[in-house]
A and B are shown apart, each in its own frame.
Chain A
Amino acid sequence: MSFRAPGFPRAGLGILVGVGLAYAIVCSVRALYGWDPVVDGDAVLQVALIAAPLGFLIGLGAFDYWFRWAIGAPTLPEDHSGHGARSWKDYFRVNTDHKVIGVQYMVTSFVFLGIGGMFAMLVRAELAQPGMQFVDPNAFNGLFSVHASVLIFLFIIPVFAGIANYVLPLMIGAPDMAFPRLNALSFWLLPVAGVMMLLSFLAPGGAFATGWTAYAPLSTEAPIGQVFFTIGVQFAGASSIATALNFLVTIVTMRAPGMSFFRMPLLVWANFATSLLVVIATPFVAASQFFVLLDRALGFNFFNAAKGGDVLMYQHVFWFYSHPAVYIMMLPGFGIISEIIAVKARKPIFGYRMMAFSLLAIVVLGFTVWAHHMFVSGMQEWIRVPMMITTAVIAVPTGIKIFSWLATLWRGVLHLDTPMLFALGFLTMFTLGGISGVTLAMVPFDIHVSDTYYIVAHIHYVLFGGSLFTIFAGVYYWFPKITGRMYDERLGRWHFWTTFVAFNCTFAPMHLIGIEGMPRRVADYAETFAGWNLFISIASFVVGLSTLIFVYNMVTSWRAGVRAPANPWRAMTLEWQVSSPPPIFNFDTIPTVVGGPYEYGVPGAVHGVFKDAEVKTTATPAGAAPAGD
């Protein structure tokens, strides 16, 4: 065990040094000012929550290369020792291989899905009957707050980043991401954020209990557990931004020769659009949480109305990120569905260009709708109608996508295996979530159902029936490529059908009890809602159990599944043209792209070719490629 070499021993030391620094800084400043007590636990904790994770990351070696470079020391010659994985231990170090990082992202995210899902089960256990049975109101508020925060910031957003991390460089014919070291750092920021949010349960006063929205001034006055969210979001957000920059640069500069923008698979388009959203929007959520931190830690009065603060400002800044965040959590899923539907229906994507343009339309429109979360917030009234119109209009580009997928199915040869089942489940369930979204845009109806279970139903149709179904579809679809093994098809179907039915039984009735008057985020509720709540709780436990089928399938198939061929789905995109799993640097020869990605049914059509120099000489380099397909 060496404390000099990068790794977990040094990372542990880094944490200790971070905590020690926090004590030193806080105590010396307090002593200089003559404040009493000199050792203030809350103050030390807040500084330590920033210093200890940084110590951990430095200790782990995430910054080693840059430090050496910055101080002018000789940097380690790039011998690619940080690349690839030969044993499971290689997944627990700073690894610069996008395929290893992709797996790290996905496995970590699914662990957090398990934890966040368990919290949902506890919430539903408490809500099965009116009155309080299992937890007290403070613990209940903590459970649903951490449930949402973990599943948004540590599952949906990063798992999409993980899938794209693995697949996207392969799809565009690149040997890796543009910035492999930044990529490694992006990943390691995530467990930091996740562990921090979970540790909040150990804080005096309990976990952060103000919802994932953390509205001020409730959050500025909450017990110290709130800070675990405030600072945790900074780490998750930094991870998101770094990854998005990486994707943008990779997509713009590292496409294979001949891969023009309009020859890119739609998954690449979707991540291009998502990364634009992340880069522009995520700094706003960071700012909103910095405001809260400054209010709490340093006595700023951003949200103290008595001192001239503006309470509504928090919500504007927060939602300016958090509405685009909904698309950050959906557009990559659109990309996955486009890949799967084209391959499994054996047809080109219907209206490819409109599919790409509608993504960009959603990016632009997505920034003009945030105040629809604030129709009952007490903000200026006139803005409600313009925001209602922009919100409803987003249904148009989204509708284009839904209809184009339907048209792609039409007259195809449908392979109804597990990825396709989840894709079709997504199509129907996301349509429902989209429709309830349009009803919520209508101001008078929104006034009645804001902050009710109708909202809970809507967001779960979008994030579970939408995002999670696409994630399941994508994981099954690329499982052979990633692991080199086939998953168990029969278990996959069982997983789909149990999840699909139980999901609907859980969330459909919430529309009704919401309109009937059950507010959300309540530990206790009126007797009239008892029947439906018991039904919902039982159904939610079935959702939880159905996920075990998925876990069992993934674990056993990865260990002992049938060996997967390079291209089990007869897909055209480049990731399927290399072995499963792919070689350490993806391509032995860089492919040349000569056609569109979905030319199924076109006699003799190929997307990329690997061999002859003849094609290479005529091809244009990436970036300068002419449009055309």
Chain B
Amino acid sequence: MRRHPTAVMVVAGVIASAIGIVLALAIEWFPTVAATQTKKISTLYDVLLIASVPIFVLVVTVVVAAVIRFRMRPGQEDQDGPPIHGNTRLEVIWTVLPALLILGLCTYSYIVLEDIEKAPAAAQELRIGVHGEQFAWTFTYPEEVTGGEELTTTELVLPVDRSVRFSITTADVIHDFWVPDFAMKLDAVPGLTTHYRVTPTRLGTYPVVCAELCGLGHSVMRSRVRVVEQAEFERWLAEQSTPAVEEGAGPDEQVAAGKQIFASEGCGGCHTLADAGSGGQIGPNLDDVLKGVDEAKIREDIVDPDAQIAAGYGAGIMPSTYGQTLSDSELDALVAYLKEATK
């Protein structure tokens, strides 16, 4: 051993690399693999890990070995090392080898990129509009998807195993539409419509996250996506075109429906409301500001939030789209609920 310290170092480095690679691959880095894109990107990441670990281990091993073997010992205070100025062959090697490794990784990444962005060969692709606005997402299913009228919702529902192409827009500032479990994201840019596609492969409910700083409520600009069977998807589409709240429903049913809408629209992300158990701090505390306010005013606050703003809060922060995304009967229910909850 003592006679071959460099050999010991090489063996230690190889063993450490092997252990490092096994450990790195054992960690569950990615969230649920819920789309073909996630699968391909997480495989790419595994390859990057396998290429990276030995390089890091190499540097650490050489540093540690140098510290052990060449640290100054008593009596060496005035000594110098051998005056080695360089070695052309070595320098060529550590220029060319990393360059080849880099080009290999770039080539593979290029192939993956083509793969995750290419249009599906046969099956018809679903086209869905995604609109970001401070601080909420809305999703638009065009007529060709619904078979009836265009549908705008705050919940994203997708059929499993079918490629979907998102068209992403925004009216105010830059947002970023990201479903971590799909591993794809893209900015929503004022003045542009941007696109990407995913193919969900796993049933379930996943978070939708805004990944680009968009102001006060950036961290609560969340929604969710439900991946369902095709039949369930069609059933859901059909349901959406019938009003959620029956016309002429009694006041109690209205309040109950309103409470559900308050939760499903994510109002609590920004607003505190004791009855709903929400504690958001972006917008005014509804327990305070809606106390004793009449229905017409509450309705105006929802559909035209900038008409009159509570003291200490800014204009243009609450989305002004609820008049479009909620039906009249849903609005009635929500107003009835808020009136009741803040009485």
Contact = CB atoms under 8 A, between A and B. Distances in A.
Contacts of B192: 305, 311-312, 378
A346 interface: yes
A215 B208 CA distance: 22
A601 B71 contact: no
Given A435-B55, A442-B106, A413 B76 contact: yes
Interface stretch (B92-100, B141-149, B333-341): B92-100
B214 to A, nearest CB: 6
B71 A414 contact: yes
Nearest to A130: B219
B44 A350 contact: no
Contact of A442 (B94, B109, B116, B216): B109
Interface string B323-339: 00000000000000000
A428 B83 contact: no
Contacts of B94: 399-400, 403
A444 B173 contact: no
- Would you list the 10 A-B pairs with minimal beta carbon distance, nearest first? A305-B191, A517-B180, A522-B219, A412-B81, A601-B80, A347-B81, A601-B83, A378-B194, A451-B211, A305-B190
Given A305-B190, A517-B181, A409 B83 contact: no
B213 A445 contact: no
Given A413-B81, A447-B41, A526 B183 contact: no
A392 B99 CA distance: 9
Given A424-B63, A452-B211, A445 B48 contact: yes
A516 B72 contact: no
B219 A523 contact: yes
Contacts of B45: 439, 445, 515
Contacts of B79: 346, 413
A132 B80 contact: no
Interface of B: 27, 29-31, 40-41, 44-45, 48, 52, 55-56, 59-60, 62-63, 66-67, 70-72, 76, 78-87, 90-91, 94-95, 98-99, 102-103, 105-106, 109-110, 112-113, 116, 168, 172-174, 176, 178, 180-181, 183-192, 194, 207, 209-220, 279, 281-282, 314, 316
A343 B194 CA distance: 54
B84 A515 contact: no
B216 A138 contact: yes
B48 A444 contact: no
B119 to A, nearest CB: 14
A78 B289 CA distance: 69
A521 B185 CA distance: 16
13 contacts: A136-B281, A221-B316, A385-B110, A413-B76, A413-B79, A414-B66, A438-B102, A444-B112, A447-B185, A515-B30, A521-B213, A524-B220, A601-B83
A131 B279 contact: yes
A450 interface: yes
A209 B213 CA distance: 9
Interface in A409-453: 409-416, 424, 427-428, 431-432, 435, 438-439, 441-445, 447-448, 450-452
A534 interface: no
Contacts of A13: none
Given A347-B82, A445-B45, A432 B174 contact: no
Given A311-B192, A512-B29, A410 B217 contact: no
The B contact surface, by secondary structure, is: mixed
B81 A601 contact: yes
Given A439-B52, A451-B212, 10 more contacts: A222-B215, A347-B81, A406-B62, A407-B90, A413-B81, A415-B72, A435-B55, A447-B183, A515-B45, A601-B82
A525 B281 CA distance: 14
B186 A411 contact: no
B218 A522 contact: yes
Interface residues of A, number: 92
A351 interface: yes
Contacts of A347: 80-84
A121 B60 CA distance: 30
Nearest to A219: B173
Contacts of A194: none
A428 B67 CA distance: 13
A173 interface: no
B67 to A, nearest CB: 6
Contacts of B110: 385, 388, 443
B218 A521 contact: yes
A525 B174 contact: no
Interface of A: 131-132, 136-138, 141, 205, 209-211, 215, 217-218, 221-223, 305-306, 309-312, 345-348, 350-354, 376-378, 384-385, 388-389, 392-393, 395-396, 399-400, 402-404, 406-407, 409-416, 424, 427-428, 431-432, 435, 438-439, 441-445, 447-448, 450-452, 512, 515-517, 519, 521-526, 570, 599-602, 605
B85 A352 contact: yes
B99 A396 contact: yes
B319 to A, nearest CB: 15
Nearest to A210: B213
A352 B84 CA distance: 11
Given A439-B45, A439-B48, A448-B183, A416 B72 contact: yes
B56 A602 contact: no
Contacts of B106: 385, 388-389, 392, 441-442
Given A345-B81, A388-B106, A443 B113 contact: yes
A309 B191 contact: yes
Contact of A448 (B70, B185, B191, B281): B185
A132 to B, nearest CB: 6
B189 A312 contact: yes
Contacts of A393: 99, 102
Contact of B31 (A441, A517, A521): A517
A223 B315 CA distance: 11
B91 A400 contact: yes
B176 A376 contact: yes
B27 A409 contact: no
B78 to A, nearest CB: 8
B271 to A, nearest CB: 13
Nearest to B185: A376
A411 B82 contact: yes
A388 B109 contact: yes
B215 A448 contact: no
Contacts of B56: 428, 431-432, 435
Contacts of B186: 376, 378, 447
A377 B187 contact: yes
Contact of B44 (A346, A389, A442, A570): A442
A600 B80 contact: yes
A409 B41 contact: no
B214 A218 contact: yes
A415 B342 CA distance: 72
A500 to B, nearest CB: 13
B26 to A, nearest CB: 12
Contact of B185 (A141, A442, A450, A515): A450
Contact of B98 (A346, A399, A407, A447): A399
B279 A400 contact: no
Contacts of B213: 141, 210-211, 215, 218, 521
